[in-house]
Amino acid sequence: MDVRKLVGRMTLDEKASLCSGKDFWHTKAIERLGIASIMVSDGPHGLRKQDMDAAQPSINESIKAVCFPAACATAASFDRDLIYQMGHAIGEECQAEDVGVVLGPAVNIKRSPLCGRNFEYFSEDPYLTTEMATSHIKGVQSKNVGTSIKHYLGNNQEHRRMTSSSQIDERTLREIYLAAFEGAIKSAKPWTVMCSYNKVNGEQISESEHFLNDILREEWGYDGFVVSDWGAVRDRVVGLKAGLELEMPSSGGEHDKRIVQAVKDGTLDEKILDRACERILNILYKYLENREPNATWDKEEHHKLSRKIAGESIVLLKNNGVLPLHDRQRVAMIGAFAQKPRYQGGGSSHINSFKMDSLMDAVQEKFGQCRSQITYSQGYETMDDIINPVLMAEAVVAAEKSDVAVIFAGLPDSFESEGYDRTHMLLPNCQNVLIEAVSKVQPNIVVVLHNGSPVEMPWIGSTAGIIEAYLGGQAIGGAVMDLLYGDVNPSGKLAETFPLRIEDTPSYLFYGGEKDITEYREGIFVGYRYYDKKKMDVLFPFGFGLSYTTFSYTNFSLNKESMKDTEELEVSVEVTNTGNTFGKEVVQLYIADVVSTPIRPIRELKEFAKVALYPGETKKITFLLGKRAFAYYNVQINDWHVEGGEFIVQLGQSSRDIVCQKTVSVEATVMLPIVYDDNSTIGDILADPKAAEVIRPMLELYNSNNSMGACESPGQEAGTAQEAISDEMNKAMLAYMPLRQILSFAPGLCSYEELHKIIKILNEIT
Ligand code: BGC
């Protein structure tokens, strides 16, 4: 389709109308020109296509589909291929259901465990986030269906999400919050980007030329279209100019009228409107021209895939040997979630599952009629957090009579959801009390958790095993069963730190903000970047997860010991399954900067790979690291910069468990510009060999005259210090002294004009 020509034939009214939705889920058709409308639907972990026959299409039930595990779970798989398969399956469903864009993935960083929507987000780490999103997008778009990476940008809380401003400094934006989008946008090219409701640094994202145009399009080369989050538009004309092409759902024509008016009165160049229409039509036709009108999809196959993904995502947090269970053991399954698991979160991502397997369904599937060794007791209520003594007593009796008690606990819907944040990190009290009560009669307790974000575990010491099953989709019951009985070997790793208590979290003091201002004062120290730097104890570190087998790492090597920052470093290692059962290992590669001028985290995740191994099998893994792996974002040059020096390449089984490491020396090819002025310190000037030569004669004079005692410049003998002033103080005084102070501390040493001549020379030679 020649989209430019088509736009040339559109009237002003038609062009304005194309830039907003027809209703909640459709773009507008322009019948006169044969432009069809397409449907967009929520995801991201399944298809939430609203039934258009209902009276209120925004809130009614959606069609029956498959609920895959939510992003909190899939991120823990650390498995790019698996996420691709999930995206591909969702793409198939969209083709069959005539949905042109499925809204997601959501890549906002988990700044705090309190964010009500964390279950929809991948991780506290931007690299893991952007890699998972890349696979999701590529999977969906392989079926010629679009995605909408969201919510761009700084939407890390639900509290006042539509009005608040996230105050984030430039380096933190680049290294953490933008980085989560950047990789996926550059490599997977999502058809659409959804801009968030909030402001960033006081600027409404839906109107931000800086974020929508300068960074997204100019820097990252984005060529799809930007759609507003539902109702995120404020000033439509300003938004259009900045690069917000499609408003969703619509403003009942109000904003369209303003666009028309602005073109007429000359405040909006019509070319901007044409450009927006072209961008929208390009994507529309990408879908329309690749429609598969006879497409079908296999519900049962997708259900099986959902079970497989859940199995690969579950994280085994603790195991004193109680797991896996044996078929003949008497097992008390306890907890309402064993019969009705919480397997997805509330809000726009809620899928109408065509079926759901609970743990008890999976018990039936595995043991059929001969399941007398397995009992079920409800244990607690899910509606209210009230201790039910009868339910609790039944559970305790069942546990006492069994070899093992498996307690299904977690957060009910009311505890976490889109639209509001959590106020604490606790499980319902009735569940905590139940776990303690059961532990009094049964030492072999396994707790299975269904939650979208970390919880405190006051009972951890009384358990023999803990399984983090997250919100694992409609097949979660089967997946947990597979893991409990060892049919699947756990291989999930935490994509977020589990802190000991909410007070320990980096944003604790400022999270939620004051009225509409939320300051991200912890800066780049989000998640493990903070806990590791502060050497804090945590409940479970980022990247942690156990297996029923063991792995060893050998022949770890770097292909060079030193390199320029423009070169690539090849890192390889051989991983062996040293246990007795098939399993998968996630090899995590972290980079640590040994000495650095900028304040940096101890280590940062820069690569990972998941490898499947039979007992005794060895596989070689190779990673290629480029400049970005060693760089930090420098706000002086507005670019990624490598400070030359030594870096440690570390392979770990978590951010706290480094298995092997080697050092590489990296030479910087870009020097930071130095500008000297009268406030430049002597220490900084001496650190620059060429500049040091320029001021050395003046320093020598200064040292011999200095009334506060002699100072030394490099290469000189220490002078005699006065009693009150130590040598160290003298050195520090000199190092931190700005050039201008020469005039006051050593009057007569040089004139004002001479000093400024020296500054001029300093700038000329560097
Ligand atoms: C949510 C988006 C969602 C949209 C459409 C918004 O409130 O923030 O994630 O895609 O609604 O349902």
Give the closest residue (by CA) to ligand 1 atom 5.
Answer: 230
Give the closest residue (by CA) to ligand 1 atom 6.
Answer: 230
Distance 232 CA to ligand 1 centre (A): 10
Q: How far apart are CA 121 and CA 70, in angstroms?
A: 8
- pLDDT (tens digit, 9 = 90+) per residue, 218-277? 999 999 999 999 999 999 999 999 999 999 999 999 999 999 999 999 999 999 999 999
Mean pLDDT calculated for residue range 373-388: 95
Which pTM value belongs to this model?
0.96
Answer whether 129's CB lies under 8 Å from 107's CB: yes
Closest ligand 1 atom number to CA of residue 106: 9
What single-letter amino acid sits at 389?
P
Give the closest residue (by CA) to ligand 1 atom 12.
Answer: 348
- pLDDT (tens digit, 9 = 90+) per residue, 277-303? 999 999 999 999 999 999 999 999 999
Distance 200 CA to ligand 1 centre (A): 19
C-alpha of 520 from chain center: 16
Distance 214 CA to ligand 1 centre (A): 25
Give the closest residue (by CA) to ligand 1 atom 7.
Answer: 230
Give the closest residue (by CA) to ligand 1 atom 9.
Answer: 348
pLDDT at position 61: 79
Beta bridge partners, 557, equal 572
pLDDT at position 711: 44
The three state secondary structure string of 353-410 is ECCCCCHHHHHHHHHCCCCCCEEEECCCCCCCCCCCHHHHHHHHHHHHCCCEEEEEEE
Closest ligand 1 atom number to CA of residue 196: 8
Mean pLDDT calculated for residue range 592-612: 98
DSSP string, 108-163: -----TT-TTGGGS--S-HHHHHHHHHHHHHHHHTTT-EEEEEEETT----TTTTT
DSSP string, 552-613: EEEEEEES-SEEETTS-EEEEEEEEE-SSS-EEEEEEEEEEESS-SS---S-EEEEEEEEEE
pLDDT band at residue 617 using 50, 70 and 90 as cut-offs: very high
- pLDDT (tens digit, 9 = 90+) per residue, 689-742? 999 999 999 999 888 876 544 444 444 444 455 578 888 998 899 999 999 999
Distance 229 CA to ligand 1 centre (A): 6
Distance 531 CA to ligand 1 centre (A): 32
Give the closest residue (by CA) to ligand 1 atom 11.
Answer: 230
Distance 197 CA to ligand 1 centre (A): 10
pLDDT at position 708: 47
pLDDT band at residue 57 using 50, 70 and 90 as cut-offs: low
pLDDT band at residue 59 using 50, 70 and 90 as cut-offs: low
Task: Look at residue 319 and tell me whether its pLDDT is greater than 70.
Answer: yes
pLDDT band at residue 639 using 50, 70 and 90 as cut-offs: very high
- pLDDT (tens digit, 9 = 90+) per residue, 70-117? 999 999 999 999 999 999 999 999 999 999 999 999 999 999 999 999
Distance 239 CA to ligand 1 centre (A): 19
Closest ligand 1 atom number to CA of residue 58: 12
- pLDDT (tens digit, 9 = 90+) per residue, 426-476? 999 999 999 999 999 999 999 999 999 999 999 999 999 999 999 999 999
Pocket around ligand 1 at a 6 A CB cut-off: 42, 103, 150-151, 229-230, 348
pLDDT at position 75: 98
Top mutation candidate among 230, 248, 349 for ligand 1, by most atoms within 8 Å of CB: 230
Q: Which of 237, 242, 236 is nearest to 265 (CA)?
A: 237
Top mutation candidate among 23, 41, 42 for ligand 1, by most atoms within 8 Å of CB: 42
Catalytic residue numbers, as ranges: 229
Task: Look at residue 371 and tell me whether its pLDDT is greater than 90.
Answer: no
pLDDT at position 56: 55
Q: Which of 459, 449, 446, 480 is nearest to 329 (CA)?
A: 446
Answer whether 481's CB lies under 8 Å from 469's CB: no
Top mutation candidate among 229, 233, 349, 351 for ligand 1, by most atoms within 8 Å of CB: 229
Tell me the three state secondary structure of residue 195.
Answer: strand
Q: How many CB atoms lie within 10 A of CB 326?
A: 11
Provide CB contacts within 8 A for 586, sequence distance 6+.
78, 491, 493, 543, 545, 608, 609, 610, 653
Q: Which of 450, 463, 409, 414 is nearest to 431 (CA)?
A: 409
Closest ligand 1 atom number to CA of residue 151: 9
Closest ligand 1 atom number to CA of residue 148: 10
pLDDT at position 705: 74
Q: How far apart are CA 527 and CA 498, in angstroms?
A: 9
Q: Which of 557, 699, 704, 587 is nearest to 651 (CA)?
A: 587
Closest ligand 1 atom number to CA of residue 48: 12
Kindly give the residue spans of alpha helices, DSSP state H, lying in 442-534: 476-484, 528-533
- pLDDT (tens digit, 9 = 90+) per residue, 196-206? 999 999 999 99
